[in-house]
Amino acid sequence: MDKKFRDYKSEGANWITLATGEFYPDILVDACQLYRPVLEIFGQILKTSESSQRLFLETIEVKQPWMRIQLARVFRKYVSPNTPVEMLKKKSSAQWICDEFGKGFRPITEVQKAFNSRPMPDEALCAILWEYKDRGQKGYDMTERMFELLRLKLPEYVLEGPERAGRDILLGEVFPDYPKPDRPADFVIKKDGVILAVGFARYDSDRGGAQEDDRTGGYHNASSEVLEYAKGKDLRTKVIFVNDGPGLLLGSMWNDYSYLEEVSDDIIVVTLRMISDRITEEWLNS
């Protein structure tokens, strides 16, 4: 490969893929229809709760998982904006959350007053909840297309990994005695049972500042770890980073990925549009 990821930067906008989006306020009709039942149930529980802690404990008892997660998001907005939804939706941790964070909950009377001051359904809150609906969808679309392109390019090779939503590949299940067995990867490329590449794939819709450092720093650690293991085991395993989206054009992201690729000839960074040109059998088998 004579052309490096850095060499594409001047025409970077031509090498990224833009996911489709939805227009505002067009989404409001569907958003209000979808989330009105959530707000109604939250309102019913709110009326019968003597405290914000009780409100939380009642919402977490809702059996339907999707509804419980949406109620957790509404609770967070009205009662405890500093508490992550991932924490709020864990039923087993409900009492612990009340004990540890309950003092910071907004008083129930203020929650009731705030909730009753809004229309039913609340278009603003429905629009916010709608933003969560397709979170991760762009990434799923990208990985699905990535598998299609790789199979066209490498028809005789085996590709493994979740093509949309699904459990990541853990490298401890791929390599014996891997030093960090819970290290997740998005795909592997194999031929005749030999692991030729470990891949990581992400869609960057918007990214900057500390997020840039976290992403590329984590990638640097992952690639160093994989290549060091491969060297110690006398393997030819390479590392592929498939990243796409307009976030690549923001801040120092393109340069950061360029530096990452330039650490080793066994690392390659591509967008979807670069796969057919840059990921070759010659490189995989070198």
Domains of the chain by start residue, with CATH: 28-133 (no CATH), 136-284 (3.40.1350)
Segment 260-281 mean pLDDT: 93
Task: Say yes or no to pLDDT of 179 above 60.
Answer: yes
Q: Which residue has the higher pLDDT, 96 or 150?
A: 150
The SS3 of residue 10 is helix
| Residue found under tokens 């395993």 | 237
Q: Which of 144, 136, 183, 177 is nearest to 161 (CA)?
A: 144
Q: Band of the pLDDT at 8, cuts 50, 70, 90?
A: very high
**Kindly report the CA angle at 61 between 55 and 65, in degrees rounded to 5?**
115
Helices (H), the chain: 28-47, 52-59, 65-78, 85-88, 94-101, 108-116, 123-133, 137-153, 171-174, 210-232, 253-262, 275-278, 281-284
Task: Say yes or no to pLDDT of 14 above 60.
Answer: yes
Q: Which of 253, 254, 243, 249 is nearest to 213 (CA)?
A: 253
Tokens of 147: 């598998």
132-135-137-139 Cα dihedral, nearest 10 degrees: 170
CA distance 153 to 26: 39
Residues forming beta bridges with residue 158, ordered by sequence position: 190
pLDDT tens digit sequence for 76-110: 999 998 887 777 777 778 888 888 888 889 999 99
CA distance 39 to 116: 11
Segment 230-242 mean pLDDT: 93
Q: Band of the pLDDT at 211, cuts 50, 70, 90?
A: low
Q: Which residue has the higher pLDDT, 19 or 222?
A: 222
Kindly state the DSSP code that residue 120 receives in the 8-state scheme: S
Segment 130-134 mean pLDDT: 82
Q: Percent of the chain beyond pLDDT 90?
A: 61
CA distance 128 to 16: 27
Q: Does the predicted model carry a pTM greater than 0.95?
A: no
Residues forming beta bridges with residue 187, ordered by sequence position: 199
pLDDT tens digit sequence for 135-145: 767 777 888 89
82-211-164-278 Cα dihedral, nearest 10 degrees: 180
Task: Say yes or no to pLDDT of 196 above 90.
Answer: yes
Q: How far is CA 257 from CA 160, 185, 211, 215, in A?
A: 24, 17, 13, 10
Segment 112-129 mean pLDDT: 95
CA distance 267 to 37: 49
Segment 266-279 mean pLDDT: 93
| Beta-carbon contacts of residue 130 (< 8 Å; ≥ 6 apart) | 27, 30, 31, 34, 35
pLDDT recorded at residue 167: 81
Tokens of 21: 């989006």
Segment 3-27 mean pLDDT: 87
Kindly state the DSSP code that residue 17 receives in the 8-state scheme: -
pLDDT recorded at residue 212: 52
Task: Say yes or no to pLDDT of 16 above 80.
Answer: yes
pLDDT recorded at residue 100: 83
Q: Which of 169, 178, 172 is nearest to 199 (CA)?
A: 169
pLDDT recorded at residue 210: 45
